[in-house]
């Protein structure tokens, strides 16, 4: 799958000091192949890798950030750009604002109609009216009625009326009278694109002149989703896309391609069958999902913000000379503390989130450690090897901890020193983790 492939190609870059034409070429080839595998259109994949290459080659590599990590960030930013950059909202200014659903049968229109109504009601204080416009299947009308009851939003239906245009117009008239500020019109879909469906939805569009036409598509349908999106857009010129069923095991290809092929933003994603399983679409989060690498990107960003490059260089020097001491250890703790909540930081390391599940990490995990270091003399901090049994006892008493804790910290310090040395020599993270256990 895409994230595994990207993972592999990033590994190639790990441990190399600079991003150059040569070390990036192989990675870009892998990325392109991975995108093609995930149903991304060839032209888009090519443009994507060209853009990434241009960005990567110009980049200066911070000491605190490895080129591989930097590539992850560049690829992620570029993916997010490809999917629209920022979040695109829906038009709600008109009174009432009219939203029209379109899409194939089974894509999730009716479910989304309920979800959107619920979101607008609970999060934006709106007073929506839902309209049952799928007149061919009585079950579809019932489905929307049940949803409406569940979320406490009225549903407009007309028994026996088979003309969705008339129903939609009547519903909007009623909404004006009753003061509903949003009208969401659900419509009938078919199993494949056909003339009758297109004619019907076009007629509804013409009659009610919606503020927002949303195209709903099942993200599990891959390249088909892109083709369907194109056909609907050619006929309807819709305003935004709703990607449903992203709770499943879907590939990233659909989200990636749809935006480029139809040039319309993805606005919402459905993440389950329940009525609250709806998110507004965030391109950067989708990029994370596609990359499947935990939130390594935010970690890199935080590191870039917080780590003073000069400081990092000095540290590396010390590590190389094996003069890393407790004063440096304290500085490290401060750096980590600056990066935020320890739980968050750990959660951002790929694989660590899962590995640490269920383990307690105290927010003040460093408190005792700091107390112990503060109780050391300057000599002890600089040269920890002088800390013998007697000194350990004194430090334990002074810091209000006990001998076991002091011993643990000393052991931890030695391990850290080893670990940091490995990092500074570019050994890989797996070995580093193994060393921690």
Known binding-site residue numbers: 103-110, 186-190, 244-247
Provide the b/e sequence for 160-180 (b: ≥16 CB within 10 Å): eeeebeebbeebbebbeeeeb
Q: How far is the CB of 347 from ligand GDP (least distance, A)?
A: 25
Task: Report in angstroms the alpha-carbon separations of 255 from 123, 252, 406.
Answer: 25, 6, 52
- The terminus-to-terminus CA distance of the chain in angstroms comes to 30
Q: Is 244 in the site for Mg ion (CB under 5 A)?
A: no
Contact residue for ligand GDP among 67, 84, 103, 154 (CB under 6 A): 103
Q: How far apart are CA 147 and CA 85, in angstroms?
A: 33
Q: How far apart are CA 408 and CA 78, in angstroms?
A: 44
Closest chain position to Mg ion (CB): 110
Q: Which two structure tokens, joined as six digits, stand for 361?
A: 């990490």
Give me the 180-199 binding string for ligand GDP, x by CB under 6 A, dash otherwise: ---------x----------
Q: Is 419 in the site for Mg ion (CB under 5 A)?
A: no
What count of other Cβ atoms lies within 10 Å of the Cβ of residue 414? 12
Annotated binding-site members for GTP: 103-110, 186-190, 244-247
16 binds, among ligand GDP, Mg ion, none (CB under 5 to 8 A by kind): none
Considering only CA atoms, which of 139, 135, 132 is closest in space to residue 117?
A: 132
Judged by CB, which is closer to ligand GDP: 134, or 284?
A: 134
Give me the 251-270 binding string for ligand GDP, x by CB under 6 A, dash otherwise: -------------------x
Contact residue for ligand GDP among 223, 271, 325, 327 (CB under 6 A): 271
Contact residue for ligand GDP among 69, 102, 233, 244 (CB under 6 A): 244
Contact residue for ligand GDP among 107, 221, 298, 401 (CB under 6 A): 107
Q: How far is the CB of 279 from Mg ion (least distance, A)?
A: 21
Contact residue for ligand GDP among 84, 108, 154, 347 (CB under 6 A): 108
| Chain centroid, CA 173 distance in Å | 40
Q: How far is the CB of 186 from ligand GDP (least distance, A)?
A: 7
User: Is the bond preceding 96 in cis, omega lying within 30 degrees of 0?
Assistant: yes
Q: How far apart are CA 217 and CA 254, in angstroms?
A: 9
Judged by CB, which is closer to ligand GDP: 40, or 188?
A: 188
Contact residue for Mg ion among 19, 44, 140, 419 (CB under 5 A): 140
Contact residue for ligand GDP among 53, 126, 245, 417 (CB under 6 A): 245
Judged by CB, which is closer to ligand GDP: 27, or 102?
A: 102
β partners of residue 212: 99
Provide the b/e sequence for 8-20 (b: ≥16 CB within 10 Å): ebbeebeebeebe
What count of other Cβ atoms lies within 10 Å of the Cβ of residue 257? 26
Considering only CA atoms, which of 304, 334, 276, 314 is closest in space to residue 151?
A: 276
* Piece of the chain touching ligand GDP by CB under 6 A; list 31-39, 90-98, 101-109, 330-338: 101-109
Q: Is 205 in the site for ligand GDP (CB under 6 A)?
A: no
Name the residues that contact ligand GDP, by CB under 6 A.
103, 105-111, 189, 244-245, 247-248, 270-273, 277
């Amino acid at each position: 799958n895409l994230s595994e492939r990207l993972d592999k190609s990033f590994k190639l870059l790990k441990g190399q000091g600079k991003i150059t034409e040569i070390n990036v070429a192989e990675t870009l080839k892998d990325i392109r192949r991975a995108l093609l595998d995930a149903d991304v259109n060839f032209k888009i994949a090519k443009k994507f890798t060209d853009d990434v290459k241009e960005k990567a080659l110009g980049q200066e590599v911070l000491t605190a950030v490895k080129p591989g990590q930097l590539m992850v960030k560049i690829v992620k930013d570029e993916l997010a750009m490809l999917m629209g950059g920022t979040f695109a909202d829906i038009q709600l200014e008109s009174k009432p604002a009219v939203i029209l659903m379109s899409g194939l049968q089974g894509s999730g229109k009716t479910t989304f109609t309920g979800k959107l109504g619920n979101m607008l009601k609970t999060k934006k204080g709106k007073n929506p009216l839902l309209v049952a416009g799928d007149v061919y299947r009585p079950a579809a009308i019932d489905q929307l009625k049940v949803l409406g009851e569940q979320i406490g939003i009225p549903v407009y239906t007309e028994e026996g009326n088979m003309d969705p245009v008339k129903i939609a117009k009547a519903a909007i008239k009623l909404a004006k009278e009753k003061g509903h500020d949003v009208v969401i019109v659900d419509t009938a879909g078919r199993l494949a694109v056909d003339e009758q469906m297109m004619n019907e939805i076009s007629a509804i569009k013409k009659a009610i002149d919606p503020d927002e036409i949303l195209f709903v598509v099942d993200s599990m349908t891959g390249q088909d989703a892109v083709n369907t999106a194109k056909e609907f857009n050619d006929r309807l010129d819709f305003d935004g896309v709703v990607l449903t069923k992203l709770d499943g095991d879907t590939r990233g290809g659909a989200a990636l391609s749809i935006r480029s092929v139809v040039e319309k933003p993805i606005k919402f994603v459905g993440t389950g069958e329940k009525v609250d399983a709806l998110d507004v679409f965030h391109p950067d989060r989708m990029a994370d999902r596609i990359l499947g690498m935990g939130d390594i990107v935010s970690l890199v960003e935080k590191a870039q913000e917080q780590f003073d490059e000069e400081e990092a260089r000095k540290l590396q020097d010390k590590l190389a000379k094996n003069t890393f001491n407790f004063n440096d250890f304290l500085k490290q703790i401060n750096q980590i503390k600056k990066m935020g909540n320890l739980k968050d930081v750990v959660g951002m390391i790929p694989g660590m989130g899962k590995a640490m599940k269920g383990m307690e990490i105290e927010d003040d995990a460093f408190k005792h450690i700091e107390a112990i270091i503060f109780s050391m003399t300057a000599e002890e901090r600089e040269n920890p090897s002088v800390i013998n049994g007697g000194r350990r006892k004194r430090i334990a008493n002074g810091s209000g901890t006990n001998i076991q804790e002091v011993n643990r910290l000393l052991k931890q310090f030695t391990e850290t020193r080893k670990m940091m040395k490995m990092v500074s020599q570019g050994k890989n993270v797996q070995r580093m983790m193994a060393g921690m256990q």
